[in-house]
A and B are shown apart, each in its own frame.
Chain A
Amino acid sequence: MKLTVDDKMYELDWKEAAVLLVLRLVDWHALTLSDVELVAGNYNRAVQLVERLVKMGFLKEFKVRKLRIYALTELGERAADEVRRKAEEAGLWKAGLLP
């Protein structure tokens, strides 16, 4: 899907958009790689996914030994809000899809 954040166009797939939403919605605003794996479906895809999001500037990575934790950057927060706005506009946010 195409996202415009700060007048710049980004193209995300649905799993990348889902990671942004999860990070915005959980109270602690951070995910480990194994949490991202829940969205991505497998480890390799999770690694690819976070690498791409970090490269785009949406995520920041905190690395301690083997542990990697990801949090949204300010740009990532705006991107997540944009995904949410799009969903609300399309009526998906209220459609009962969400718990």
Chain B
Amino acid sequence: MSFESIAELYELSRAIARAFEVVKLLKKRAEKHIVEGVPPKRQYVRFRVAAGGKVIDLTEKQVAALLVLSRTEGAEVLNAIARSTGLNSKLALGLALQLKAMGLVNLIITPQRKIVMLTPLGQEVAKKVEEMVTEAAFPPEEGELI
């Protein structure tokens, strides 16, 4: 066996030993952070948006989450969405999972941190919703602007 292959074997064994040590630790830590998403109850459809060749019904909470995401360049930590929508982390995760099932967001989940990111369809829907909300809040006045 050459010196090079012995050195490589040594490197490999160190990599594996460290990797398993860290995986064991991370899995142990993860046990303390298991949060199962529960969709919020009493959600009513308030918005209907046509995007990506289909009609999508959205509830107030879903719209709130989409608006938060569209105003933060399409990505936000779940906690920030929970704060903005007035939900706890369990319900916010449930909401994010609902949006994921609709194809509007992607979720990147680690035990301690969760990131929600808009998909291209989600961006389109968020843009339309934002227009609808702005229009409802500030209706165009009749008559011409002088």
Q: Which chain A residues have a beta carbon within 8 Å of chain B's beta carbons?
A: 1-2, 13-15, 17-19, 21-22, 25-28, 30-32, 35, 38-39, 62-65, 67, 69, 71, 83, 86-87, 90, 92-93, 97-99
Majority secondary structure of chain B interface residues (helix, strand, loop or mixed): helix
Among A28, A30, A69, A87, the residue within 8 A (CB) of B16 is: A87
**Residues of chain A lying within 8 A (CB to CB) of residue B11:** 1, 13-14, 17
CB pair A21–B16 under 8 Å, yes or no, is yes
**Residues of chain A lying within 8 A (CB to CB) of residue B112:** 32
**Residues of chain B lying within 8 A (CB to CB) of residue A97:** 13, 16-17, 20
Interface string of B21-40 (1 = CB under 8 A from A): 01111110010000000000
Interface residues of B, CB < 8 Å — how many? Answer: 31
Complex interface: stretch among B89-97, B103-111, B119-127, B132-140: B103-111
Q: Which chain B residues have a beta carbon within 8 Å of chain A's beta carbons?
A: 8-9, 11-20, 22-27, 30, 72, 75-77, 108-113, 115, 117
Among A17, A62, A67, A71, the residue within 8 A (CB) of B12 is: A17
Q: How far, in whole Å, are A18 and B18 apart by their CA atoms in the complex?
A: 6
- Contacts A22-B22, A39-B19 aside, 6 further interface pairs with beta carbons under 8 A come to A1-B11, A14-B18, A21-B23, A67-B113, A69-B115, A86-B12
Among A25, A28, A32, A63, the residue within 8 A (CB) of B19 is: A25
Q: How far, in whole Å, are A17 and B26 apart by their CA atoms in the complex?
A: 17
Nearest B residue (CB) for A86 = B12
Among A32, A83, A86, the residue within 8 A (CB) of B113 is: A32
Q: How far, in whole Å, are A99 and B19 apart by their CA atoms in the complex?
A: 10
Could you write out 22 A-B pairs with CB less than 8 Å apart?
A1-B11, A13-B11, A15-B15, A17-B15, A18-B19, A25-B23, A26-B30, A27-B30, A28-B30, A28-B111, A32-B113, A35-B22, A35-B26, A62-B117, A64-B76, A69-B110, A83-B12, A92-B12, A97-B13, A98-B20, A99-B20, A99-B24
